[in-house]
Amino acid sequence: MPKRFSLYFLVSAAGALAGCAATPLTLHEPGLPAAAVATIVLPEQLEVATVNGREIEGASGMMTRGDKTLELAPGRYELLVFYRELWELGDGHEILRSDPALFVVDAAAGGRYRLDYDRPAGIGSARKMAQEFTGWVENLATGERIAAAESGLQFRRGLVPALTFDDT
């Protein structure tokens, strides 16, 4: 992940994404027939840090509402994905963020996949889950689930890294 993001970038990105459902993020060459495109869907609480070791602009965004969709060419993809959620606590709030887990998708042409995790019942279980984040890839056609693996990566802790994406 890049070492620094400016506050301007954060505010601009948040403004662009706030309150709207995300449009699909296309990560394949133009002209690929729709039947050849693989789709990966993930809930708004999951953020993509990298795809095959590369940071993808627009693949994460704390202010995105609803599911996020990635459209890719068929192939094997390694996604570093982390949990991040803003919890309202009376008059305050808490941002919870996990270290990334490794989700592997062997995407077939026309395939639909979902990255998911067990939803916490409350702030206590969310704090615990953020410390031990894991999830799975589900093939939406077959229902088959493949567990995510530990990535071995750790993000910096604290409010500033959580808000500025300065995780290194």
Query: How many other CB atoms sit within 10 Å of the CB of residue 43?
Result: 16
Tell me, what's the pLDDT at 81?
Answer: 94
Tell me, what's the pLDDT at 61?
Answer: 60
Residue 9 pLDDT exceeds 80: no
Q: What's the mean pLDDT in 78-97?
A: 90
Contact in structure between 134 and 147 (CB atoms under 8 Å): yes
pLDDT, tens only, 130-146: 999 999 999 999 999 99
Tell me, what's the pLDDT at 114?
Answer: 98
pLDDT, tens only, 37-78: 999 999 999 999 999 999 877 666 655 678 899 999 999 999
Rounded Cα gap, residues 18 and 155, in angstroms? 24
Of 13 and 139, the structure prediction assigns the larger pLDDT to 139
DSSP 115: E
Residue 20 pLDDT exceeds 60: no
CA 138 to chain CA centroid, Å, is 15
Rounded Cα gap, residues 131 and 155, in angstroms? 11
- The segment with the largest mean pLDDT, out of 14-23, 52-61, 103-112, is 103-112
For residue 16, what pLDDT band results from cuts at 50, 70 and 90?
Answer: very low
Q: Across-strand partners of 92?
A: 89
Query: What is the arrangement of strands in the sheet containing 38-42, beginning at the earlier edge strand?
Result: 25-26, 68-72, 38-42, 112-116, 136-139, 145-147
CA 59 to chain CA centroid, Å, is 7
Tell me, what's the pLDDT at 153?
Answer: 73
Tell me, what's the pLDDT at 89?
Answer: 84
Q: In the chain, what percentage of residues exceed pLDDT 90?
A: 54
